[in-house]
Amino acid sequence: MPSIFKEGTYDQGSYARTGTLSLNGIQIETPIFMPVGTRGSVKSLTSEDINELGYNLILANTYHLYLKPGKEVFDHFHGLKNFMSYKKALLTDSGGFQVFSLASLFKFEDDGVRFQSHIDGSYHKFTPSSVIDMQRSIGSDIMMVLDDCAPYGSDTKRLELALDRTHRWAKESYEYWMENPNGQNVFPIVQGGVNEALRLRSLETLQKIDFPGIAIGGLSVGEPRPEYIRILECMAPHLDKSRPRYLMGVGTVVDILEGVKNGIDMFDCVLPTRNARNGQVFTSKGKINLRNESHRLSESPIDSECSCKVCQTYSLGYIRHLHKVKELTAFSLSTYHNLFFMQSFMEKMRKSIEIGNFQAFYEHWKNLFGS
Binding residues for substrate: 93-97, 147, 191, 218
Q: Are 196 and 227 in contact (CB under 8 A)?
A: no
Binding residues: 93-97, 147, 191, 218, 306, 308, 311, 337
Phi-psi region of 354 (alpha: psi -120 to 50; beta: other; left: phi over 0): alpha
Query: What's the helix, strand, coil split of the chain in %, to 5?
Result: 45, 20, 35
Distances (CA, A) of 367 to 15, 287, 364: 20, 12, 5
Residues with a catalytic annotation lie at 93, 268
Phi-psi region of 220 (alpha: psi -120 to 50; beta: other; left: phi over 0): left
The letter for the amino acid at 218 is G
On the 0-12 / 13-18 / 19+ scale of CB atoms within 10 A, 314 is: middle
Binding residues for Zn(2+): 306, 308, 311, 337
Give the CA angle between residues 346, 50, 72 to the nearest 5°.
Answer: 125
- Which DSSP symbol is given to 238? G
Beta-carbon contacts of residue 348 (< 8 Å; ≥ 6 apart): 361
Q: Are 202 and 165 in contact (CB under 8 A)?
A: no
Q: Give the DSSP letter string of 83-106.
A: HHT--SEEEEE-SHHHHHHTGGGE
Give the CA angle between residues 133, 137, 142 to the nearest 5°.
Answer: 80
